[in-house]
Amino acid sequence: MSWRQYGGTSKYDKMSNINVNTVSTDSFRLHGPYQGDFDICGNLFVDTSMVVFGSFNVKNDVLIGHDTTMMNDLTVNGNIYSNKNLFLTDGHFSGNLTVAQHVENIGDVTNKSSLYIYDKLYFDPSATEFFHGENNKLGLNVYHPNYTLDICGNIGSVLNVYSSQESTRNVIVQNNAFKGISLNANTSTSSIRFFNDSSLNVTNMLYDGQLIYNNGGVMTIDVSSNTQILSNMVISNRANTRSDLSFAQGAHIYNETLVLYDNSWGTYLPEHYKNNTANTGYALTMVTADTSSNTFMNLITPNKIGLSVGGGAYPNDQTRAMGTMGWVDTSGYFIPAQTMVSGNNISKYRSSTGFNTYAPRTEQYVVDINGPVHITNGQIKVANFVQYQIYGVSKLRTYQQNIIAVGSPSVKGINTHQSNSWFSQYISYSNDGGQSWKQSLVNPTLGINSDNSINYNDLYLYYNKFNN
């Protein structure tokens, strides 16, 4: 069989069909479409382009030595394995995607089903910001989280919750019974609300307790029943105490539960004392229900007995001020011991004080006493502690500042000279009229019945030892 070739338009032999079993040739060229099956048992090498207008089915592996461009969809019913980087400009996957190393995406990634991540999900090239979940817990920058959401911040500012609306409400903790705490904010107030008696849900705004801050520096504690503070407390608005820890530690002068530091606002009675350094202020004010009432402060025992101090409007003339002190019994009944009432005549007395009366006679007496009066002049002041019973105290006639006190023995000891027991004998003496005292031990080695002279700073005392 022979072939003839011509340049340009192909020319054929008179034979249009050839039926043979085998064709062996060095070159094989088709100028028209091939109809039917084309079975290649060996390799197929294409030097330029290969255009497939129908389906392209490959029963085994496809090896591509260079770039592959697909103008339409790529459907993968099995897995996609990449031993190196996988770059997606705009990729959609319906099956599994397994990547041995990195996946770099230039555009958006759309996932219409579940996305499973078995290790860390990083958000920066330095691999310092990541999500990791295990055992029903999710960690942000925490590889082994201990909470449902466990966050570790790498900077000082860790969490910011923002709303584009004027008012915002956020629930920070809530249990399965809808009990919890919400945070609320608007342009005028910020508050923490507590829900335990009532339910915390989207529609319920009735809280059980609230800590609220209002514009202008006003803080309010709002509860329906009682506020308990289980610690000592210092209340002060002095500028130098707000951040001074040493002040707070030493503020309780008498170890009291509550201490109030006043707001000094002026000079105390400057027209009377003429002392501009005598400042004054108010540490506590108790206000009555209205202008015709009075109120009380109680200093009592748990069974309700003790002192009660009150003040307000005077019941007999509610235009006057009244102050009173007395005691209360277990039923809470007040018995006035002292009543002070302001005067109403500037030419008379400015106040009247009544003892054992609830209605002192004002404008007549400064002091109005109901009952017998006993006045004495005496006081108890501890000047010295001794460990023995004092039998007598004497002072010299010529030296009135020298005083001596003697009494019983005190501590038992041993008389080394006579091998018998004895009690230490002390005397107390003062050289400044009793303002200060000293003690001196009597020498136990002297005879029992002998009179002895002992010198105490030029003060001579003659006594008979052990004989009172």
One-character DSSP codes across 185-207 = E-SSEEEEEEESSS---SS----
| pLDDT band with cut points at 50, 70 and 90 for residue 464 | very low
The tens digit of pLDDT for each residue in 307-320 reads 999 999 999 999 99
Q: Is 405 buried (19+), middle (13-18) or exposed (0-12) by CB count in 10 A?
A: buried
Strand 80-82 and strand 97-99: pairing?
A: parallel
Average pLDDT, the chain: 81
How many whole angstroms from its chain centre is CA 154? 23
Handedness of CA 431, 435, 436, 441 (dihedral sign): positive
Q: 251 Cβ partners below 8 Å, 6+ apart?
A: 234, 236, 241, 259, 261
Q: pLDDT value at position 94?
A: 59
Coil, helix or strand at residue 468: coil
Q: pLDDT value at position 447?
A: 42
The answer, yes or no, to whether residue 285 has pLDDT greater than 80, is: yes
Return d(Cα 51, Cα 142) in angstroms, integer.
53
Handedness of CA 63, 67, 71, 75 (dihedral sign): positive
Q: pLDDT value at position 461?
A: 44
CB 191 within 8 A of CB 211: yes
Name the region of 366 (left: φ>0; alpha: ψ -120 to 50; beta: rest).
alpha
Return d(Cα 334, Cα 147) in angstroms, integer.
58
Q: Does this model's pTM top 0.85?
A: no
Return d(Cα 466, Cα 456) in angstroms, integer.
19
The tens digit of pLDDT for each residue in 41-99 reads 777 777 777 777 777 777 777 777 777 777 777 676 766 666 766 666 655 555 566 66
Enter the tokens of residue 293. Answer: 């009432």
The answer, yes or no, to whether residue 425 has pLDDT greater than 90, is: no
- Give the residues across from 82 on adjacent strands: 99
The answer, yes or no, to whether residue 174 has pLDDT greater than 70, is: yes
Q: pLDDT value at position 457?
A: 39
Q: pLDDT value at position 242?
A: 60
